Amino acid sequence: MELKITKDKVLAAAAKCSTAKATLETLFPEAFEEEKEDIVFDEQFGMPGLKYKNGRHLVWLSPSKKDIYLDKSQSWSIVDEGTVLKLIPTRKTS
């Protein structure tokens, strides 16, 4: 029998148990590396924002510039850096 191991399966298993995570990080370190995707400025339907080069939007502004939309496939955290707040996306594990 052949088993297929995917990054998503490794990360899902790691999320269930800290001991399993440590073991899986040893066996599959590449699954835990942050993926770097090229992000570009773009405008779609009159809404400026940022998107990945693959076409998926990360963050964009409403036409009125009053609302900010965030991609739900990311977990978002806010870090206070003194005079500004930094918004950090992290890809959710399945």
| Predicted TM-score of the model (pTM) | 0.51
Q: What is the pLDDT of residue 29?
A: 87
pLDDT digits (tens, 9 = 90+) for 22-57: 999 899 988 877 666 678 888 877 788 888 877 778
Alpha-carbon gap, residue 15 to 9, rounded angstroms: 10
Q: Let me know: does 13 contact 23? Beta carbons within 8 Å.
A: no
Q: Let me know: does 12 contact 24? Beta carbons within 8 Å.
A: no
- How many other CB atoms are there within 10 angstroms of residue 35's CB atom? 6
Q: What is the pLDDT of residue 94?
A: 56
Q: Is 46 left (phi over 0), alpha (psi -120 to 50) or beta?
A: left
- How many other CB atoms are there within 10 angstroms of residue 31's CB atom? 18
Domains of the chain, by residue range, sit at 1-33, 39-91
